[in-house]
Structure 1
Amino acid sequence: MAKQRLDKLLSHEGFGSRKDIKKLLRNSKVTVNGTRISDPSFGIDFENDSIAIDDKEISIHKHIYLMMNKIMHTVSTNKDGEHQTVFDLLADDMRTPYLEDKLHLVGRLDMDTEGLLIFTTDGELTHRLISPKSHIGKTYFCVLEHKETDERKKEIEKLFAEGIEVGPDDNEAGFKCEPADVKWATKSQIKEYTENSSIQEIYNKLESKSFNKDDYTAALLTIHEGKYHQVKRMFAAAGNKVVFLKRISIGKLELDKALKPGEYVFLDDESLEKLNWFILSL
C-alpha cells in the first residue's frame, strides 16, 4: 500500500490546513511509532503506523463515513447560494480543505425530505451503492394527507407490487416503477419515526384541513431505484399525497433513532459491515 504524507493525513483527520499542520509539527510533539517527526512530507502507512500528538494517540481513518439525520429545508449539496446545505451542518473539523474536496454524499434527499443521509470520502463505496446494478432497497416513512381504508390499502399494495405508472414531474417524464413493497405503519412505528423529526411543522401546516394529527395513515415504502420525486409520484399516482417523508434505511443500515434532525455520527464497524455487505454480495 502506498504511503500518505503526514500533513495530508492530519489535515484529513481535521487538524487544519497544510499550513496549520506545519505549525503543529513545530509547536507540538508529533510522533510516528514513538519517533518525533517534523517533516510534513513524512510517509505514513495506514495499516501499521501509530501517530500521537503530545503523547495522545490519534485514530487514523483511511476513509470517513458519517450518518446524518437530514433536516427539512436543507439542500443535499455542498454549496448553494440560497439555502442551507447539509454540509453547513457539519462541524468545522469536517470542513477542512482536504475534506471539502473529498467528502461527498451517497445519493441525495429532496429539500423537504428528512432522514438517513450518508457522507463519505470512499468513492468506491459510493459508486457501488448508487449503481443501478446494486438494486439496494431504500425504505421511507411516508405520512399521507388522506386516511386510507383497508380496502384502499390493499389496492395500493397491489399497484406498487406490480410496478405503478407515474406521471411526469417538472421536466421529468413519466415512467413505470420497479415493483416496490409497502407496509402500513402501526401506531408505535408512527411514534418511533416521528419522535426525532420536524413533523410538528407539517401538523401546523395542515391544521386547517381535515388532516387529524392523532389518526392518519402512514406507510413504510421500500423502493430499489431513486428517480426524481419517486415516492411522492408513486402515492400521487395511487390517489394520495405525501405530506411528510423520511428515509429510515438503506439496505440493512437503519437511521440511528437517537439522532435529532441535523445531527450526525461516525459509522461504527457494525454499521459499515451492513453497507459493505452489498459490495460483497454484488
Structure 2
Amino acid sequence: MAKTGRITLDAVDVVDVTRRIPVTKDLPARMTVDGKPLDPVAGMVILLNKPLGMTCSHKDHGPLVYDILPERWKRRDPAISTIGRLDKQTSGLLLLTDDGALLHRIISPKRHVRKTYRALLARPLDGTEGNLFASGCLTLRGESTRLAPAELTVISEREALLSVTEGRYHQVRRMFAAVGNHVEELKRERVGGLSLPDGMAPGQWKLLTNEDIASIFQEAQGGVT
C-alpha cells in the first residue's frame, strides 16, 4: 500500500516501509490510508445520542448501541464500553470509551458527576417532589441507603429535569415511582458540563475532544474536580 502511494503522513506519501511512526493522539489527523483518516488511537471517547429500543450491552439479544459504531470497532483492544448505562426505554446522551481509568473516574461516586434527565410523567407533579428529592432523606424501595440529594427543575405540570449524582438501577424512574408517579418518557441531556449537542439526531455520534472531556468534570457537585 505504501509503495503504491496509498498512505500519506502530513500530506506526503509514505514510501519507506521500514519507517517507524510513533502512535500519537494526533496521528489520525496526520495520516490517511486511501484518502481516509486512521481510526482513533486508544483513549477515545464517543458521545452518542442513544435511540430508544437499544441496549448498552455486548451480550444482549436485539439492537445494541455498539451496532451504531463502525463494525471493525467491535474488534478493538482494549474494547469500547459504555460509561454507565441507559436502559432500553431511555434515550439521549451516552458516553463510550476504551479508556478504563476515565470510565471509572466519571462513574465514581466520589466525583459527584451530575447526570441530568428530562422526564415526561404520567400524572401532574404536586409540588412536594423537589424538596423531597433535595433532602437526601429518600430511600428507594428495596434499599436501605438513602439517596444523595438530587435537583428537580419543573418544566411543566408533567415534565421536569432531574439531576442526580448517583447511578443506581433505574434510579430516576424509581424516584418518581416513590412519589406515586410514573415516567412515560426519559431522556438524558447532560453529563457534568457536557450537553447533548443541538441538532444531533438519535443514532448520531461524535468523537470528543480533550476540551469536551474536561467539561464533564467542570460541573461536578461542589465545584471543579
The alpha-carbon deviation at position 119 of structure 1 amounts to 1.4
CA contact (8 A) 2:194 2:216 kept: yes
Mapping of 1:38-49 within 5 angstroms?
38-39=17-18, 42-46=20-24
CA deviations on 1:68-95 (whole Å, 9 max, x unpaired) are 1111111101232x221000122335x2
Residues 254 and 25 (structure 1), Cα distance of their counterparts in 2 relative to 1, 3 Å cut: same
TM-score between the two structures when normalised by the length of structure 2: 0.83
Structure 2 residue aligned with 1:180: 150
Matching of residues 82-161 of structure 1 within 5 Å: 82-92=61-71, 95=73, 97-98=75-76, 101-148=78-125, 152-153=126-127, 155-161=128-134
Tell me how far apart the structure 2 counterparts of residues 47 and 265 of structure 1 sit (CA, whole Å).
16
Q: In the TM superposition, what is the alpha-carbon distance from 1:53 to its structure 2 partner?
A: 4.0
Percent identity between the aligned chains? 30
Counterpart contact for 2:133–2:150, Cα < 8 Å: yes
Moved more, 157-166 or 227-236: 157-166
Distance verdict in 2 for CA 1:161–1:52, change over 3 Å: closer
1:152-171 to structure 2, matched below 5 A, reads 152-153=126-127, 155-163=128-136, 164-168=138-142
**C-alpha distance in 1 between matches for 2:94 and 2:75:** 22
Equivalent positions of 1:13-52 (< 5 A) are 24-25=1-2, 27-32=4-9, 34=12, 35-39=14-18, 42-46=20-24, 50-52=30-32
1:222 Cα deviation after fit: 0.5
Matched, 1:70 2:53: no
Distance of 2:216 and 2:16 partners within structure 1: 36
- Displacement of 1:236 after TM fit? 0.7
Alignment check: 8 A CA contact 2:120 2:158 kept: yes
Q: Kindly indicate whether residue 214 of structure 2 is the aligned counterpart of residue 273 of structure 1.
A: yes
Task: State whether residues 113 and 216 of structure 2, in contact with CA within 8 Å, keep that contact through their aligned partners in structure 1.
Answer: no
User: C-alpha separation between the residues in 1 aligned to 2:2 and 2:66?
Assistant: 29
Distance 2:106 2:151 in 1: 20
Structure 2: distance between partners of 1:141 and 1:75: 19
Aligned in 2, Cα 1:98/1:38: closer, same or farther, shift over 3 Å?
Answer: farther
Structure with the bigger percentage of helix: 1
Larger Cα-atom Rg: 1
Q: In 2, Cα distance between the equivalents of 1:217 and 1:139?
A: 17
Structure 2 contact 82–94 (Cα < 8 Å) conserved: yes
2: CA distance between counterparts of 1:103 and 1:48? 20
SS of residue paired to 2:76: helix
